[in-house]
Structure formats: C-alpha cells, structure tokens
Structure 1
C-alpha cells in the first residue's frame, strides 16, 4: 500500500487485482470488485464533467451501510473531491452546522432524509443533491438527482481523467466534537488513511488470507473506524465486506449474517453483549470465525467472555480517535490482554505525559499522546484548536492512561467530559447548550453514568425558570439532538453545585 500515492491508485489497483471477487453486500445486493470499479468510475465521470464540482470541493455522504456508500466514496476520490462523512441520525441543526463549516457543495443522501435536508438547504452552499435508496429507485423532489441514474449517465461520458492527489492532500473531513461542544473536522489526508490501513493490514496479515475472507461490518461507514479499516484496509486485501444497515435490529442482523461463513467481525461492547443473548445468533456456525475486533468503547470482561463462549473466538480491542485515522494501538491477535488497548501500530509512538507535557515513568498515569503517519493534518479552519492538541508532532488525546508491564497500554480515565453511548461520542456542552435554549430551563449540567446496555447513558441535571416535566424536556431534546444524545435521566434541582467563581461542578454531580 505504501506504493500508492493516493486513494485513487489504491482503489484502481485493488479492483483490477480482485476483479471477479465479491467486494460488498448489503440488503441482498452483492457487487464484485469489477462492478465497484465500473460504477465508481461512471459516477466520477459525471462528477468531473457534469456536476460543476472541481477538485477540492467538499461532498457530504449521508447514508447508512449500503453498497452505494463505497461507490460514492471511491467516485469522489477519483474525481478529486473531499469526502465529508455525515451521520444519518443528525438533526437538521447538526446537519446545518456541519455543511456550513465544511462549505459543502454537494450531498449524496438517503431518500428518507431529504425532508430534513429541505428545511436547511437554503441556508447552505449545497447546489447538488443526489438521492439514493436502500432498495428501489428513490422518489425525487424538484432539482434532485437519482444516484443510479447518474451512474447510467456517466457511462455515456468521456473516459475518466482520474485525479491524482498527493499524499498530503485532504481526503476526508471527519467531524468530531470537543469539550466546547462545537463539532470540528479532523483533516485526514490521503497519506493518513493509506498509512493507517497499511498499519492495520500488517496485523491482519497474520490472521486473514487476501481475497479469501468474508466479514461482517455492522459499524457505520460514516464512522472513521469502518471507513478506514473496512472500506480501505480490508478492501485492499480483496476481502468481502457484508454491510449491515441497522445493527440495532438484531433479528435483521442475524438474518443478514446467516447466508455467509463469517471469517471476521467488527463491533463494540454493547453489540457483542446483545448478540450473545440472541438465540438466532447463538445458532449460527462460527467454525470459520478467525478475528473479532472491538473499538469505539471499552471492552468489558463480561462481553469478551460471552463472545468467546458463544463463538469460540477472542475479541481483539484497539484504540484510536478520528484524529488518528483512527487506529493507534491494537492488542495482539490470540494474545489479548482484556482491559488493555494493546500496543502501538508500526511507525507509531505512544507516550504518557504529565501536565507539563513531559513523559512519565512506565506504570504512572498521564495523558496519552500519539505520533505517527496516521495523525491528522490538523482541524479544518481551526488553527487555535490544532495548536492546543498538537505538541512536538504528538497529538494529545485528552485520555488518561498508563503503560502496563506487558508493554500494552490501558485507559484509566478521560480528561475530557465526553460520554460514550454505544460507541457514539456525546459532548456534555452541546447537550447543555440545547437544554438551556428551552424557555423554561434556567441551567443544565450533563454527565455520563454507567449503563449495562449502552456502556454509558446521558444524565441531565436541570434548574427551572417555570414548571415543566421530564417528558416535555425529553420531547424537546428529541427535536434538537440525535437519539443517542438525548438524556435518559432528567433530574430537576433547586440549584446546581458550583465553584466559587460560578463554574458548574460536574464532578460533584457524578459523586451523588
């Protein structure tokens, strides 16, 4: 993979190498590597010749895990566009911020989401709306394009002049929150993503045979883990990725898995626990399952034990962030140390720093910092935020950890107040800001609490200006926040605990 200068070259070389093999399956539809190459080339031709877009323009992709996702992504790279991955669960408010921050010019969106887009599109720079449907042809509104129709139109256009980006050119704007609650984009270059895919594949080479494995991908492709690991790394190995559009529907997930002999699986703690309790999943044949990788949330001993008892396969936990493309560390396969995040990938340096940004002795806790070719270029149009988190070439993660005697690393706490709900990041300030815009709410403080099902749940402590009940607060939040950000516990208080300077003390709420 280090022979490639950009993702376009990787895509074209991979599709030629594994042309006849299946590449992706979703919703009963399978595409070969040759079909992926052809359809992405036709769409890239339309992007270049008919869309009015130019190299460097940003295109948002707001789709679930359907085969259209890799087609659009690869087409965007081949046409020189920058991909802006967008969560389909976003509310109109969240979409508006992201599209304007990235100055998005075009979007490929699921048909079920177009009504939401219509409420904000006039306040954005989006001129081109391309609609995809999970099964049939989408119903279009005025001025919209059908993705399938554009692929057909592209076939009739002049041959593609594939854009040849440099390794330092931006490939993806991957949005991530912050302690400020304002989502910002990690600028991931072609070189960042190529490097991380190669680093992961070096580990996979010990377990997987190129062109011979079938894997289940329930993690969303708009999340940087599945984007890099499945859609770039495992793709480059010629593997067959079965995409799961809605992993929360366990009955449907089991039915989608059933026809395939599973060789690898990626998931998070809550999904492992849920599947191991599902009778249909327990009845599946796991004799060929070689590898299960976990990320996005801490893996518990209970989940690892249940998975082993159900499938006969260990779970290998890794660690990373959007800013590291994403993987920085990974346990060794079949030698996992549960409770640790493993050791650094190749060409990656992990250190533990104290509050003076100096390395601490092994075994002492401090902030985890990461240096390597997968570390982002910086935050999009946020030099101030970039300067805060980059020091001497290291990215300061905001996570507290330590180095174990084994050489593996362990996360012990978070400097940030971020809450992780089923692998999704929730930033308390964002939820607090939304709550405080309600006319009846005076102040709000949001913390995370342990939850057996989702890892953590969002808890809101509120003081009122006038009387409202929990249901009214919950309904209001659902209108303005994605479902996983909505507080599951709402506690009304006379006053919130504060410091002498008036800062709300979340730590005191956690102790209650």
Structure 2
C-alpha cells in the first residue's frame, strides 16, 4: 500500500525565504541571538558568535585559499565546536561538504577524498600523518588543522606551507572581504558517503533543498507545547559526520534555537554522564547501543531526568526491550525514526501526534510518499510485506559520478528503492521486516560486505570469504566473517588484526569462522544468504 504526500514543505520553505543552509543560522541569530547554540566540554558559543566565526571562516576559504562555489571540502573531525563553524562557514562560502569519519583508515579515507575531488580538508591534528600518506592520491591541496583543545590552547602557527591552523584561518578571515554565498536551493550542499544499495561507498548528492526540506519535516513532528524553541538543552552524542546528527542535531537544532551539547567521545560514558549532570537536559538524541551502555552504567540512576521531555532514537533499529527498560528507569518514551543517507535522512518518525505501536516505527513525515512493492514492482496490500519505496523533497539527486547506479536505485517514475523489506498497516504505520540488500547495520553505520571482503582478500593466506550480519542486542547487528584458507597457519586473531589495519573499528568482524570450504551455487557463486541464515539461526539459539 502507499501513503499519499501532502503539499506543505515547499510552502513553508518559500515562506522562510531560505536559499541555503546558512540562512538557517542567519534567522536563528535574529530569533535567538546571544543564547547558547552549541557547547562542548567547558566551551560554549552563542548563535551570534557562531555566525561571526563562520563568516570569518568563509572569507578565508574563498579569499585566503581561493576556493570557488561548488568546490568540495572534506571535514574529518569528531564532535567539536570547530565542526559547527566549519559547516556553516563552508555553506556561506558556497562549498560542498564531504563529511568524513575521523576513525577511517587510510584505505577508507583515500577512496572518499579521491572520489569526491575534495580540494581542502578540515582535519584533526593527530590525523595529519594518515592524510599525508594518501594525499598524493587525492586532489587535496589545503589542510586546515585543529586540535581537540584548540579553543582552550589555540595554536596559530603551522610548519608546512599547505597547512593553516584553524584559529589562524579565523584570524586571517577577519581581515578579508565578505563573501556572497552564490548558491541556491537546488545546488549541492553535501556529498554524504554511503554504500547505497550495494558495493563501494558512494556520495549521495544532497542539495540545500533536500536538507532544508528535511529540517522542516523533522521539526513538524513536534507538537506545540511539547518543547519551547530557544529554551531547550539537547545532548548530542551522535557524530555530526553521520547524516542523522548532521541534519537533526546540527541544522535542525539551530533552526529551533536548541542549545546542543556536543559529546566528543560518546564511548567515554563517565564524561558524557558528567556533561548531562552539568546542564538541565531536556532533549536527548541517541541510538540503541548508546541506550544499552547508559542503562548499564553504575551512575545512570543518579542522573536527574525530571526535565527530560523528548528522546529520539535514529541511525539503527531500536530494540523493543531496551525501549521498555529506558522508560522504566527514566519515565521517558524513546521515539524511533527511520531514514537513509539518501533521504537526508528522516522518512518515518514516531511522534507525539501518533499512538505508540510496539514493533512499528511510525508514520511518514509530511510531504513523503511511502509504499511497498512485490518482486514484480506491484504495490502490496496493507499488512503485506514488500520492498519499501520512498518519494519526497528530501530524496537525494543521485550518486556522485555514478549515473548507472543512480538509475538502478530509482524507479522510472522517481521512487527511491530502499532495499528494505517492510509492511504498512491500515493506519500507515511502518514495520521493517528484513533487508533485501546485504548491508549490515552496526550501531547506526552502514557496513557493506563487499568492502569488508575486499580488504580481507588482501591477505595472501585467505582463499575465499563472506561477511554477514548477525543480531546483537547492543549494536543492532554485529559482523561475522566466514573464511577458507590457502595457508593453514592463519588463525582468527590474525585475520581480525589484518582487518583492523585496513578498516575502521565498527567494520571489523566480531567473530571469524574458518572452514575448509564455503557453500557455493552450481555456477560457483558464494552463497551469502545460506551463511547469513545459518549465522542468524546460531545467534538466536
């Protein structure tokens, strides 16, 4: 069945008069001015301070480095105030942001930088040696380097001619002419990399209209009186390089005047809990694995949740039992969402307007069409599973420089194929049943078996391999690797060590099973589904 769209987002966008994402900050300065916009550790920036720094940064990018509107700039940082300045500065300069995970290995980073054609990068100081090892295979000419404590202990001098320290860029930009954004709603804002439905990581082309539409859609789920614009404190542990946090915890938070508390390292639960206790937290955005870790922390029950109004879960499926435990311990309901990198990302949300349905995620946000189809592309009946298809103003323009894969991902009449199998009930609620594609979702991050298998096969002692996802209460899914060997003197520990050398931590298999042979079809194709079903059955038992 399908859910019809509504004509709301375009009207609201026209009324706002926004042409770019930077306009969100301009309006926030008018509405919220000297109120805090973002905090990180002991540092806080107001909306006006953020705008001033972003303006100086934009001037430096355009006049200091000579970058032009449409050029790509990579940002490879954890959650820091510098990240927010870089985002809005790049938007003011008319550049296209390439969000990059700072945990990426040289192998992963090189692909993203080379494929995007990024000419500049804002990067953490400790990552510069890694960047140097691959820079010759990219178009990166300018490095803007910062450190975690750059605001407390600013550094202005750099030793290398293609390096500028972040604080020096702001200082230099202050003396340069102001810039005009020279971009519009239908120009690219982000190349947000994802595995798409199959294969190597691809850049989803998201325009200013895509992101701004999704901000309107995401904020539309808030019922009047549930929150107070300009007077909420939101804890934001999810990394801004992830599309959900980028749109919800950064752009939408600025649009609503929320004070976002950025968590640089969400794995450091002691520090995160200290941050939560330090401020009157009213909103929290998390993910299933984070909720599990918090619930298990010995200090959890000492946190005052009396002001907590809203908890969002996104990026990975929310475990029903985890949601129950959270409600029992805090008294707050975790509201789940569903989306994809290709949809900016919000598609479905559980909202205050809709009743809670256990096992279902929620309804489509405004201006979003949703339907499920069978193998022949025919729409399925209510309650019957099928592949989930999406159409709406938040859907990407396609994959960067990959027209064939873009064509495969869209139907002839413009529906995005998600590869997810779900069912929609009579009231329009979506339940996910399975994934048609082979993607593994680890703590909210897309992991594609092909990428893991390509890295594993770099080891000369491995003959064949297959990576599959298995259920994991904390991560949602964990990675299991099946291998057959050409040399018998290789063990599980050595294989995992090899993976750690080439893959960021969440892509490293949790378990490895070595077999004499792996199952194949009559034509010799490795049977991934057979191994996946076997692994999941073993996990369940």
TM-score category (smaller protein): over 0.9
Instruction: Considering Cα pairs closer than 8 Å and 6+ residues apart, tell me whether 1 or 2 has the greater RCO.
Output: 2
1:107 aligns with one of 121, 139, 145: 121
Matched, 1:340 2:360: yes
RMSD between aligned residues = 1.3
Aligned to 1:166: 184
With 346-355 and 140-149 compared, the bigger mean Cα shift is at 140-149
2:246 aligns with one of 220, 224, 227: 227
Contact in 2 for aligned 1:179/1:429 (Cα 8 Å): no
Contact in 1 for aligned 2:58/2:179 (Cα 8 Å): no
1:278 aligns with one of 269, 281, 297: 297
2:154 aligns with one of 124, 130, 137: 137
Matched, 1:439 2:460: yes
Matched, 1:361 2:381: yes
Distance 1:461 1:287 in 2: 47
Contact in 2 for aligned 1:25/1:243 (Cα 8 Å): yes
1:413-449 CA-to-partner distances (Å, cap 9, x unmatched) read 0001111111111111111111111110000011111
1:321 aligns with one of 326, 337, 340: 340
Aligned to 2:445: 424
The residue correspondences of 1:228-247 to structure 2 (distance < 5 A) are: 228-247=247-266
2:270 aligns with one of 251, 262, 280: 251
Matched, 1:389 2:389: no
Aligned to 1:88: 102
- Count, aligned residues: 511
Distance 2:457 2:108 in 1: 17
The residue correspondences of 1:404-415 to structure 2 (distance < 5 A) are: 404-415=425-436
Post-superposition shift, 1:161?
A: 2.5
**Aligned with 2:370: secondary structure?**
strand
**Aligned with 2:496: secondary structure?**
helix
**Aligned with 2:247: secondary structure?**
helix
Matched, 1:192 2:210: yes
**Aligned with 2:420: secondary structure?**
strand
Distance 1:141 1:511 in 2: 54
Distance 2:148 2:158 in 1: 14
Contact in 2 for aligned 1:173/1:186 (Cα 8 Å): yes
Contact in 1 for aligned 2:479/2:508 (Cα 8 Å): yes
Distance 1:224 1:396 in 2: 19
Post-superposition shift, 1:479?
A: 0.5
Post-superposition shift, 1:179?
A: 5.1
Aligned to 2:172: 153
2:509 aligns with one of 484, 487, 490: 487
**Aligned with 1:203: secondary structure?**
coil
Distance 2:299 2:49 in 1: 32
Contact in 2 for aligned 1:300/1:338 (Cα 8 Å): no
**Aligned with 2:250: secondary structure?**
helix
Distance 2:241 2:417 in 1: 23
Matched, 1:201 2:219: yes
Q: Please give the TM-score of this superposition, normalised by the length of structure 2.
A: 0.92
1:175 aligns with one of 189, 193, 212: 193
Post-superposition shift, 1:40?
A: 0.4
Distance 1:320 1:455 in 2: 16
Post-superposition shift, 1:180?
A: 4.0
Mind listing any 5+ residue stretches in structure 2 that lack a counterpart?
1-11, 535-541
Distance 1:62 1:336 in 2: 38
Contact in 1 for aligned 2:314/2:336 (Cα 8 Å): yes
Post-superposition shift, 1:235?
A: 1.0
Distance 1:405 1:287 in 2: 36
Aligned to 2:392: 372
Distance 2:147 2:136 in 1: 23
1:29-60 CA-to-partner distances (Å, cap 9, x unmatched) read 10000100100001111112111111100000
Distance 2:473 2:249 in 1: 28
1:387-435 CA-to-partner distances (Å, cap 9, x unmatched) read 0111112111000000123321010000011111111111111111111
Aligned to 1:476: 498
2:236 aligns with one of 201, 217, 224: 217
Aligned to 2:529: 507
Distance 1:384 1:229 in 2: 31
**Aligned with 1:118: secondary structure?**
helix
Q: 1:479 to 1:137 in 2, by over 3 A?
A: farther
Post-superposition shift, 1:141?
A: 4.7
Q: 1:506 to 1:167 in 2, by over 3 A?
A: same
**Aligned with 1:279: secondary structure?**
coil
**Aligned with 2:278: secondary structure?**
coil
Aligned to 1:351: 371
Matched, 1:303 2:322: yes
Distance 1:5 1:468 in 2: 57
Contact in 2 for aligned 1:179/1:416 (Cα 8 Å): yes
Q: Please give the TM-score of this superposition, normalised by the length of structure 1.
A: 0.97
1:29 aligns with one of 34, 38, 43: 43
Post-superposition shift, 1:203?
A: 1.2
